[in-house]
Amino acid sequence: MEHEQAERKRTNVQVDARKKDDYTSLPEGTDLIQQKERKSLSNGAIRKSFGIYERNTADKLAARMFYASGLSFNFASSPYFTKYSKFLAENSIPGYIPPSYNRLRSTLLAQEKTHIDRKLQPIKGTWKKKGLSICSDGWSDTKRRPLINIMTSSSGGPIFLISINSSGIIKDGEYIANLFIEATENVGSNKLFKLLRIMQVGETRFASHIIMTTRIRKVKSSLEKMVMDDEWKNYKGDKGIEAKTREIKSLIMNDEKWDSIDYFLKFTEPIVDMLKSADIDGPKLHLIYDMWDSMIEKVKKVIFEHEEKDLIYGQSNFFDTIHDILVAR
């Protein structure tokens, strides 16, 4: 009997040793604990009362989760990660195990989607009464992948619908139209107010205002047709929206505004051309001075012709202002 107990004990010890070898232990020690241990054993009571050892162990387990799973360190700043951690710290849940892979991708995902839909319902509730616009914009992520965002805009607020990776796809009119058709079907065509393609460029890109103005000029005829449409002219509803529709119509149908845009694009064209030529890989510094002088002369020629002034003897305050801005840049 004693022999069997001894044999069982020896077997358990061997199993525990194998389990220990299979698990990579956590790195030992912290600066705080090591310093206190050198001072006095009485610090054991302090560490226990403040949970220093447990906190240190929890930090190491969390760090290993980040390192082994390749998680971004930015995830540590996520308010949801912080809230989850605080909930576990403030509530005793004996035997709690984090959700499994299957539970995360099925039950919990469906519950979260239902929760988000419920939170968005007040915004969606305005669609049927006041309509909405479907908008899109294009941008590139940090990996230089071309992405197209589709979203809705309404009096209740914006809602993001989907982001599409358009790498390797020809983004012609048919492709963009199909994206809008699919988005329209998802939100319901009876709620749609207008379709808008906002080809917005990031502020970090050069000459972004000029690029945006160029794109607006290209769709001038479409904008004019839009504000002359019966649905636009006869829209009745929110007084603020009615006032805005009249303001937009007045702006789009103003020929003087379009003449100003044409003039703006004409004298900025040499500037954009130079920036595009310089914004490529390869040595360009030796060409910059010649490109600069040529660009200045082209801008001056456009402005002086517009103001009907002599190119050699004339004087233009507007050109002087533009020149000072370019030099300051």
pTM over 0.95, yes/no: no
Both tokens of 152, joined, read 């809705």
Beta bridge partners of 163: 149
Q: Which of 212, 200, 197 is nearest to 272 (CA)?
A: 212
Query: Under a CB-based contact definition with an 8 Å cutoff, are residues 120 and 132 in contact?
Result: no
- Residue 121: exposure state from Cβ atoms within 10 A (0-12, 13-18, ≥19): exposed
What are 168-184's pLDDT values in tens digits?
A: 888 776 787 788 878 88
Selected residue with higher pLDDT from 154 and 50: 154
Q: How far is Cα 283 from Cα 215, in angstroms, rounded to an integer?
A: 31
At 107, the amino acid letter reads T
pLDDT of residue 201: 45
Quickly state the pLDDT bin for 302 (edges 50, 70, 90): very high
**Cα–Cα distance list, 131 to 116, 153, 232, 234 (Å):** 21, 9, 12, 14
At 123, the amino acid letter reads I
What are 231-269's pLDDT values in tens digits?
A: 777 766 667 777 777 888 888 899 998 999 999 999 999
Alpha helices in the chain (DSSP H): 2-22, 31-39, 43-50, 52-69, 79-90, 101-105, 107-124, 127-130, 173-187, 208-218, 220-228, 230-233, 239-252, 255-278, 285-306, 317-328
pLDDT higher than threshold 90 for residue 60: yes
What are 10-43's pLDDT values in tens digits?
A: 656 554 555 554 556 767 665 544 555 555 545 5
Both tokens of 101, joined, read 């892979």
DSSP string covering 213-230, please?
HHHHHHTHHHHHHHHHSH
